[in-house]
A = this chain, B = another copy of it.
Amino acid sequence: MSHQLTCPYGSKGSQPPGSLVHVGTAHTAVPEITLICFGPEHHAIRKGISLEEAAKPDTRAEVVWLDITGLHDVSLLKEAGERFSIFPLTLEDILNTHQRPKAEFFEQYVFCVLKVAEPHPSGRGLVMHQLSLILQPGRVISFQEKPNKILHPLIHRIETAAGRIREFGADYLFHAILDIVVDQYFLCLELLGEEIEGLESRALDRPDQALVPELQKMKRELLFLRKALWPLREAVNALLRDGHPLIKRDTDAYFRDLYDHTVQIIDTVELFRDMASGLLDVYLSSINNRMSEVMKILAIISTIFIPMSFIAGIYGMNFRHMPELDVPWAYPLVLLLCLCIAGGMLVFFRRRHWL
Residues of chain B with a CB closer than 8 A to A278's CB: 216, 219, 280
Residues of chain B with a CB closer than 8 A to A89's CB: 253-254, 257
A139 to chain B, nearest CB (A): 20
The reply to whether A193 and B6 contact each other, CB–CB distance below 8 Å, is: yes
Tell me the complex Cα distance, A216–B275, Å.
8
Which of B164, B298, B331 contacts A299, CB < 8 Å? B298
Residues of chain B with a CB closer than 8 A to A317's CB: 312, 315-316, 318, 331, 334
- 250-306 of chain A: CB within 8 A of chain B: 253-254, 256-258, 260, 263-265, 267-268, 271, 274-275, 278, 280-292, 294-299, 301-303, 305-306
Chain A interface SS verdict (over half): helix
Tell me the complex Cα distance, A317–B240, Å.
90
The reply to whether A16 and B212 contact each other, CB–CB distance below 8 Å, is: no
Total A residues in contact with B, Cβ cutoff 8 Å: 120
Residues of chain B with a CB closer than 8 A to A313's CB: 308-309, 312-313, 316
Tell me the complex Cα distance, A18–B292, Å.
56
Say yes or no: A213-B219 contact (C-beta < 8 A), given A284-B285, A314-B312, A328-B321: no
Taking CB as reference atom, which chain B residue is nearest A279? Answer: B216
Taking CB as reference atom, which chain B residue is nearest A299? Answer: B298
Chosen A-B contacts, 15 in total, with CB atoms closer than 8 Å, are A5-B193, A6-B193, A16-B163, A17-B258, A18-B254, A216-B282, A223-B274, A288-B288, A288-B291, A294-B296, A298-B299, A301-B307, A305-B309, A306-B309, A309-B309
Beyond the given pairs A6-B190, A17-B254, A305-B307, 14 more chain A to chain B contacts, judged by CB atoms under 8 angstroms and listed by A's residue number, are A8-B193, A9-B186, A9-B189, A16-B164, A209-B285, A223-B274, A227-B267, A284-B288, A297-B299, A301-B307, A302-B302, A305-B306, A315-B319, A319-B334
List the 4 shortest-distance A-B pairs measured between CB atoms, nearest first: A16-B163, A14-B153, A312-B313, A315-B317
